[in-house]
């Protein structure tokens, strides 16, 4: 599947209720991005969500949204990274210098000074939504 870099798609209907995501912060500004079926397992896709370049990843039933910008180089490449895991943690390795980041927290597992921005993501009525 080719990289999906497009403006967010608007869906009709009432807005979803605020949800609390893994970091404990309420996420209230949900933006529909794409159908879940459009995300391949262990493959990244890029999307422009409310002016932010976001990299989306699917790992089983989980969807992760992180900044598309590599913290080490400032290049917009993270959707092309290598998806993997460290123990039970889903990870993404930068395609440029191979720094490995936790997809849920953004923590760089090899260089503590680097941090990948993460965004709340969910699947609502079969559609991936991201809060930025």
pLDDT of residue 54: 98
pLDDT at 9 over 90: no
The pLDDT of 30-48, averaged and rounded, is: 95
Query: What percent of the chain is predicted at pLDDT more than 70?
Result: 79
Residue 18 lies in a domain: no
The pLDDT of 43-52, averaged and rounded, is: 96
pLDDT at 70 over 90: yes
DSSP bridge partners of 103: none
Residue 78 lies in a domain: yes
Domain residue limits at 120: 27-131
Residue 14 lies in a domain: no
The pLDDT of 106-110, averaged and rounded, is: 97
User: In this structure, what DSSP letter does residue 94 have?
Assistant: -
Q: Where are the strands (E) in the chain, listed by range?
A: 19-20, 26-27, 30-35, 45-49, 52-59, 62-67, 82-86, 89-93, 100-102, 118-124, 127-131
Residue 35 lies in a domain: yes
pLDDT at 6 over 70: no
Query: What percent of the chain is predicted at pLDDT more than 90?
Result: 74
Burial status of residue 36 (CB atoms within 10 A of its CB: 0-12, 13-18, 19 or more):
middle
Per-chain mean pLDDT for the chain = 84
Rounded Cα distance, 76 and 32, in Å? 21
Residue 4 lies in a domain: no
The enclosing domain of 113 has a CATH number of 2.102.10.10
Closest CA to 122 of 1, 11, 28: 28
The total number of structural domains in the chain stands at: 1
pLDDT at 94 over 80: yes
Higher pLDDT, 38 or 1: 38
Residue 107 lies in a domain: yes
């Amino acid at each position: 599947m080719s990289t999906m870099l497009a403006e967010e798609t608007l869906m009709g209907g009432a807005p979803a209720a605020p949800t609390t995501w893994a970091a404990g912060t309420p996420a209230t500004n949900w933006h529909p991005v794409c159908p879940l079926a459009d995300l391949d397992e262990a493959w990244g896709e890029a999307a422009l969500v409310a002016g932010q370049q976001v990299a989306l990843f699917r790992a089983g039933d989980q969807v992760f949204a992180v900044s598309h910008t590599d913290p080490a180089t400032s290049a917009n490449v993270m959707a092309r990274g290598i998806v993997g895991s460290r123990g039970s943690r889903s990870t993404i390795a930068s395609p440029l210098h191979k720094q490995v980041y936790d997809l849920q927290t953004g923590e760089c597992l090899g260089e503590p000074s680097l941090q990948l921005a993460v965004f709340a993501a969910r699947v609502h009525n079969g559609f991936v939504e991201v809060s930025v």
